[in-house]
Structure 1
Amino acid sequence: MLAFRTLLLPVKSLRWTLKVLDTPAPRVYSWNSRAESHPVGAEFIIMDKIEGVPLSQVWGNMKLPQKLQVLLAMTRLQKQWLSISFSHYGSLYYAGDVQPATVGSHYVKDGKAVKDSEFAIGPTTGRDWFDGGRSILDTERGPWASLTEYLQAVGTREMKATQTLKPPKQMALFCGPKLYRPDTEKKLTALAWYRQIVNSLIPKDTTITNPCLWHNDLHDDNIFVDPHNPEKITGIIDWQSCNIAPLFNHSPDPAFLDWDNGLEPETLDLAPKPKLSQLSSPEEKSAALREYTVQNVFIAWRKLMHAKNPDLYRVVEFRKTAAYGLIFLAHRMFEYGEAHFQSLLVDLKDTWADLPAVVTDDTPFPFDFSEVDFERIKLDSDGAVAGTELVAEVKETMGDLWPDKGFIEHERYE
């Protein structure tokens, strides 16, 4: 069933992308998602090869005006994606492949509900529902008609993963003596707290809670451009993990911008040019110029988003809040996050009445933490922060040799 869904999704997403979202993607000619039903005896897709070259081959040599044109093109594409929302959270399927059919399944364009007999919304195939061994979990996968149902299902999923699956290898933080160590009971406690307050975390702004289809993996090998005119995007590949989720759960920033997500810019002001005369070595000057360029290209991207896609920029603003931080950490509680979650929840007590979903100032904060609880949570949080900082130091020291996603290129193995 997993192979069937992971194959079916790119087919439907690609055809939907070409048909409705007006986004350049490979055209599918033939496909089979059930190995036993075809003489080939395997799942397959036959599709166009995208014209052009990966952005990774040219981005480093492009001049700033050319890079800005790529950002403008990406802004226009995301504006197209924003123009469509759906009736349910889940994933796209052909109608004949979803049984039973989702009642009332439709999409909304220009404020009008559109029913398309060709497609239906079915169980999600979002990456977070399959990573870390979650594919084998017996858990509800949608589709969901309400955001509350969707977010509660996330909590249930993480509880089942924590209770039944082998703990995954840690890549976000080091654990050990004097550092935080993941704890099953603390994870389950944090998830119980999350499920208790999740309704209060949901923003009232329906623009950022609407179910949207999005490409969340826009790194420079998934975007193709014209080699003779590299500011022109010729196609986008790797749609298999696209799913219909609340807009705030989708990534507003393309990965090819190479921005460190841990350093959210405080303003949209451009960074000042570095004083190269104060740097001694050519390597230091080159690194300073690169950081300056990366920062300002990213700020330029955010400025474009703010001006051209203000609805998407609201996601950026929501992601700065404690409410989003708690939702984000709950999504990955099985891998990590309970220490930060509990610390963030303690801090939430002071701003509880400011949450949009807390109806009146008389609605009490639902938890009563003792001084012992405060001390324990602070100790865990400090240990987790230290473990995260240690990972950052090692990554900086190793540079390109850091095994991203747990692997290293063949040519660098030695």
Structure 2
Amino acid sequence: MEGGFNKALLMTREDGTEVIAKIPCPNAGPAMYTTASEVAVLKYVKSHTTIPVPQVLAWSPDSANPIGTEYIIMEKVDGVQLFNKWGDMNGDRPLTIPAGNRLANFGIAQARREIWCIQHTELRDKRPIHRGTREDQISLLGTTIKILTILESHPRLLRSSKPVLWHKDLHMGNIFVSQDDPSKITGIIDWQSTSVSPMFLQVRWPVFLEPPDNYVRGLHEPALPDDFDQLSSNEKEKAEYDNIQAVLSKMYEMFSCAKSIDLRYAMNIPRVFRYEDWYTLQGIAMQVLDTDSEGWVPAEADWEETRAQNQALCEMFITKAAGEMPPETARRMWPFPTDDNTRPTSLRPPRNARAGNPIRILRQLDRHQWLMFVVGWIGWMWDAFDFFTVSLTITELAKEFKVKNSDVSWGLTVTLMLRSVGALIFGSISDRYGRKWPMIFNLGLFIILELASGFCTTLPQFLGVRSLYGIAMGGLFGPAAATALEDLPYEARGLLSGLFEQGYAIGYLLAAIFYRALVPTTSHGWRSLFWFGAGPPVLIIIFRLMLPETNYFQVMKAEREARHKADVLAAGGTESKSNSLCAFWRESSKALKQNWVLLIYMVVLMTGFNSCSHGSQDFYPTFLKDTVRMSATKTTVITVVGQIGALLGGTTIGYLSSVTGRRLTMMCAAIAGAAIVPAYVLPRNLSLIASVFFEQFFVGGIWGPIPVHLIELSPPALRSLIVGLTYQLGNLASSASATIQGVIGERYPLPPAANGTKRFAYGKVIGIFMGAVWVYLLLFLFLGPEMSQEEREVEAEAAMQFERLRAQGVSLTEIGASRAKGQNLAELETEFGHRNAKGDHEKGLVAAHIEG
């Protein structure tokens, strides 16, 4: 049998007896703890009460066991489920067990746990409006912590706050009774997620004894309405049903009160809901659709019909609420998903978004943030410079090695193919040990491999060196992006993400300039460009050595180690030097299991993005020199103008993405870029300058939001690895772009040049290739996810609180350790504010004492 949260298997042993194997689904609750908690409750109830529960025969909370999943094997309960033999005896009995008796302690622990869960959830879908944004929830929980000590002094709450264990899902399917004597309960099952909580939070009627709407609590005897005789037949039938239900509810209420007078107080404490209208709406929808609060549809119901009914009810509600709220708000308030919650609606610009002054945004950065951004940006820029040294010298290399242009283009292909290897190796190291040293090591490899490229005498030697360079190039992007962006104020990330990505364009621009300055004018030709490329990384390494590790990584490292240490000590283990490595692998494996579908999507998306940039840039200088017959100077001018367009486009569109949303902004860039493709490849004169500027404006523009978009999608524990690896795996999938264009282009020869040089229709191939890529990007951006506005607001507030804590002198290690305990940054900020105020007060007293 398969339920919403578990799978139950009926198994027969060799002796003929039957047992139940219960396997929790991923949505049942926290891994390990959900299973361990249920076993603990079953054993406690079995040992300390007379309530009949199944005996646990075997269990494992570790999915790494030989079976491959958590499980509980328990005896099969005798009897039949209560709905088959509906009797008048219930088994809902509260149990008092030893626990902390202070409401404040209990409440604060619960609030901190919820704050931690909200901060660390990986869900990407929008939360229902009745729950509020993440920022709303964290703020409300922070306020709750402050007032709980006041609340617990209230006499009515104090009397009803005794901790009790209570079965919260007591429906007739979970109660087994004797086949022969239905008044005898033989077992109560499904104790999953049962908790010990204050009585006033626990007490409730079982589902099948819930009172009707007109029920009056207390010493009031249920009766038919006074005008019963005047009612219609249908109304009489409902009144009689409600009266019978009210009598059963009253019997349960009186029985419970007779067992404990405190229960009477607890059952009558009013519930106050912040979103009371929403709960009323949810109740109506649940009743009409015959579903529960989670939206589960019974197996025997018609799914399509229920779905259509849900859609119709939602539209009816939107129409009725038109005078009170906008349609968008009404739709978001609807408790269940509708067909309108699709990709188009997710493209709406963020609510209350407005364009901030870029100058004001940049002024938010402090010295540390500027330095970290600049060193990451320069590293990425020179990464691109070294890559494009091959792209710009394809014709010279082909002449030197006496091969075709398409043969030399393999130097680009092997570099792109092996970048994913570097991303995997150095991304993992970066998330484990920090961003600093992997970046420095890869810059060192740049020096060695650029020098070696200039000394190659054969094509195989050259391809071998460029293969190794691909590993170094792939290993740099993740650490460089994290270094540049993860410490920035949130509002600045869209703008500076676009500027960071255009370090690639600046690298290309510089490569084009130095190509013109060195290749045609020096005796060593193309070799001098590669040798020159080995120099600046020395200066970048010195710059990076002078700067610290990123603040974000230091906090994340302290948090995961503190959490792992707490788990080890709680399990009875001892602290060791391997804690850091264990914590990293634990966080990493969890993140990969939870996000593998998202990671596949990111690779598919980055395949399109890399095909866009490489398809429009790598072979374009060859197209200009070979097909259009441009001189080296004109080729350089057009290339430089194109990269200036890319720089402006990336910065502008990256900035706009914070206002209009990442995906919508990039989709608009894809449409505009596709429209310009014919003008990019058809002219045969200097009018190409304008075409190249605007095409590269949108090529760079669509790339502008990508670094911050990837960071927002990536799980925090593997940020550097995932950003670098998905980007480089996209490079791997698109690595043959230049070779494909070269090989196919050579199938369409043009009349040879005056000096007999062969010419090919590379422009036709580039145009078709780019048209297909723009459509590909438009499709997958439309289908993909992005961080919601609620998540952005929480991220922005957390970034601001983080900076305020640093200003108060709180260490990064202390911030990480407090987050591991479940404290949110607002609570930590208040705590340290009080601590500082107390310290200032004590200093004042000391000063006054000295003066006295």
* Change in CA separation of 1:151 and 1:296 when aligned onto 2, cut-off 3 Å: same
In structure 1, how many angstroms separate the alpha carbons of the residues matched to 2:83 and 2:293? 17
8 Å CA contact 2:209, 2:249 repeated in 1: yes
8 Å CA contact 2:203, 2:267 repeated in 1: no
Task: Give a deviation string over 1:248-292, Cα, whole Å, max 9, x none.
Answer: 2213432221335x76634331221245532323x3332221111
Aligned partner letter, 1:29: L
* Change in CA separation of 1:35 and 1:192 when aligned onto 2, cut-off 3 Å: closer
In structure 2, how many angstroms separate the alpha carbons of the residues matched to 1:316 and 1:220? 21
In structure 1, how many angstroms separate the alpha carbons of the residues matched to 2:215 and 2:250? 10
Shift of the alpha carbon at 1:242? 1.7
Task: Give a deviation string over 1:100-143, Cα, whole Å, max 9, x none.
Answer: xxxxxxxxxxxxxxxxxxxxxxxxxxxxxxxxxxxxxxxxxxxx
Q: How does 1:384-403 map to 2 (within 5 A)?
A: 384-396=275-287, 398=288, 400=290, 402=291
Shift of the alpha carbon at 1:12? 2.2
Alignment match, 2:176: 224
Alignment match, 2:75: 48
Task: Give a deviation string over 1:333-373, Cα, whole Å, max 9, x none.
Answer: xxxx5xx2xxxxxxxxxxxxxxxxxxxxxxxxxxxxxxxxx
Q: How does 1:106-255 map to 2 (within 5 A)?
A: 146-163=102-119, 165=121, 166=123, 169-170=127-128, 182-202=132-152, 203-204=154-155, 208-255=160-207
Aligned partner letter, 2:200: F
Alignment match, 1:410: 299
* Change in CA separation of 1:2 and 1:188 when aligned onto 2, cut-off 3 Å: closer
* Change in CA separation of 1:199 and 1:257 when aligned onto 2, cut-off 3 Å: same
In structure 2, how many angstroms separate the alpha carbons of the residues matched to 1:187 and 1:263? 33
Secondary structure at 1:410's aligned position in 2?
A: coil
Secondary structure at 1:230's aligned position in 2?
A: coil
Q: Which moved more, 1:287-296 or 1:305-314?
A: 305-314
8 Å CA contact 1:213, 1:244 repeated in 2: yes
Shift of the alpha carbon at 1:48? 1.3
Shift of the alpha carbon at 1:47? 1.4
Q: How does 1:261-272 map to 2 (within 5 A)?
A: 265-272=216-223
Aligned partner letter, 2:79: G
Aligned partner letter, 2:219: L
Alignment match, 2:244: 293
In structure 1, how many angstroms separate the alpha carbons of the residues matched to 2:120 and 2:31? 22
8 Å CA contact 2:286, 2:293 repeated in 1: no
Superposed CA RMSD in Å reads 3.1
Task: Give a deviation string over 1:201-249, Cα, whole Å, max 9, x none.
Answer: 1245765333332222211111111232212111100112122222222
2:99 to 87, 93, 99: 87
Aligned partner letter, 2:76: K
Higher strand share: 1
Shift of the alpha carbon at 1:393? 4.1
Secondary structure at 1:209's aligned position in 2?
A: coil
In structure 2, how many angstroms separate the alpha carbons of the residues matched to 1:286 and 1:6? 43
Alignment match, 1:101: none
In structure 1, how many angstroms separate the alpha carbons of the residues matched to 2:300 and 2:276? 33
Aligned partner letter, 2:141: L
8 Å CA contact 2:58, 2:72 repeated in 1: yes
Shift of the alpha carbon at 1:17? 1.0
* Change in CA separation of 1:194 and 1:58 when aligned onto 2, cut-off 3 Å: same
Alignment match, 1:139: none
* Change in CA separation of 1:164 and 1:34 when aligned onto 2, cut-off 3 Å: closer
Aligned partner letter, 1:28: V
- Where structure 1 has 5 or more consecutive residues not aligned to the other structure, the ranges are 89-144, 326-336, 341-383
Task: Give a deviation string over 1:134-178, Cα, whole Å, max 9, x none.
Answer: xxxxxxxxxxx84323211333344445555456653xxxx5xxx
In structure 2, how many angstroms separate the alpha carbons of the residues matched to 1:156 and 1:10? 22
In structure 1, how many angstroms separate the alpha carbons of the residues matched to 2:47 and 2:103? 27
* Change in CA separation of 1:181 and 1:187 when aligned onto 2, cut-off 3 Å: closer
Alignment match, 2:549: none
8 Å CA contact 2:37, 2:192 repeated in 1: yes
- Where structure 2 has 5 or more consecutive residues not aligned to the other structure, the ranges are 1-28, 306-852
By relative contact order (CA 8 Å, sep 6+), the higher-ranking structure is: 1
* Change in CA separation of 1:44 and 1:52 when aligned onto 2, cut-off 3 Å: same
Higher helix share: 2
8 Å CA contact 2:80, 2:177 repeated in 1: yes
Secondary structure at 1:286's aligned position in 2?
A: helix
Task: Give a deviation string over 1:68-99, Cα, whole Å, max 9, x none.
Answer: xx14xx36x43xx23xx2134xxxxxxxxxxx
Shift of the alpha carbon at 1:25? 0.4
User: TM-score, with normalisation over the residues of structure 2?
Assistant: 0.29
* Change in CA separation of 1:43 and 1:386 when aligned onto 2, cut-off 3 Å: closer
1:18 is the counterpart of 2:30: no
Secondary structure at 1:40's aligned position in 2?
A: coil
In structure 2, how many angstroms separate the alpha carbons of the residues matched to 1:241 and 1:392? 23
* Change in CA separation of 1:186 and 1:244 when aligned onto 2, cut-off 3 Å: closer
Alignment match, 1:259: 211
1:310 is the counterpart of 2:244: no
Q: How does 1:370-381 map to 2 (within 5 A)?
A: none
Alignment match, 1:279: 231
In structure 1, how many angstroms separate the alpha carbons of the residues matched to 2:68 and 2:120? 33
Aligned partner letter, 1:298: S
Alignment match, 2:500: none
Secondary structure at 2:297's aligned position in 1?
A: coil
Aligned partner letter, 1:15: K
8 Å CA contact 1:86, 1:210 repeated in 2: no
Alignment match, 2:800: none
8 Å CA contact 2:203, 2:263 repeated in 1: no
Alignment match, 1:357: none
Secondary structure at 1:290's aligned position in 2?
A: helix
In structure 2, how many angstroms separate the alpha carbons of the residues matched to 1:241 and 1:86? 18
8 Å CA contact 1:10, 1:239 repeated in 2: yes
Shift of the alpha carbon at 1:23? 0.8
In structure 2, how many angstroms separate the alpha carbons of the residues matched to 1:194 and 1:263? 32
Shift of the alpha carbon at 1:312? 2.1
In structure 1, how many angstroms separate the alpha carbons of the residues matched to 2:223 and 2:72? 49
Q: Percent identity?
A: 27
1:29 is the counterpart of 2:57: yes
* Change in CA separation of 1:300 and 1:30 when aligned onto 2, cut-off 3 Å: same
* Change in CA separation of 1:303 and 1:163 when aligned onto 2, cut-off 3 Å: same
Aligned partner letter, 1:51: D
1:5 to 33, 41, 46: 33
Secondary structure at 1:231's aligned position in 2?
A: coil
Task: Give a deviation string over 1:361-414, Cα, whole Å, max 9, x none.
Answer: xxxxxxxxxxxxxxxxxxxxxxx4444444444445x253x4542121122123
Secondary structure at 1:234's aligned position in 2?
A: strand
In structure 1, how many angstroms separate the alpha carbons of the residues matched to 2:296 and 2:149? 39
In structure 2, how many angstroms separate the alpha carbons of the residues matched to 1:31 and 1:186? 39
Shift of the alpha carbon at 1:298? 0.6
Report how many aligned residue pairs link the two structures.
270
Alignment match, 1:141: none
* Change in CA separation of 1:197 and 1:392 when aligned onto 2, cut-off 3 Å: same
Q: Which moved more, 1:288-297 or 1:305-314?
A: 305-314
Aligned partner letter, 1:301: Y
Secondary structure at 1:314's aligned position in 2?
A: helix
Aligned partner letter, 1:53: V
Shift of the alpha carbon at 1:196? 2.1
8 Å CA contact 1:54, 1:220 repeated in 2: yes
In structure 2, how many angstroms separate the alpha carbons of the residues matched to 1:237 and 1:24? 9
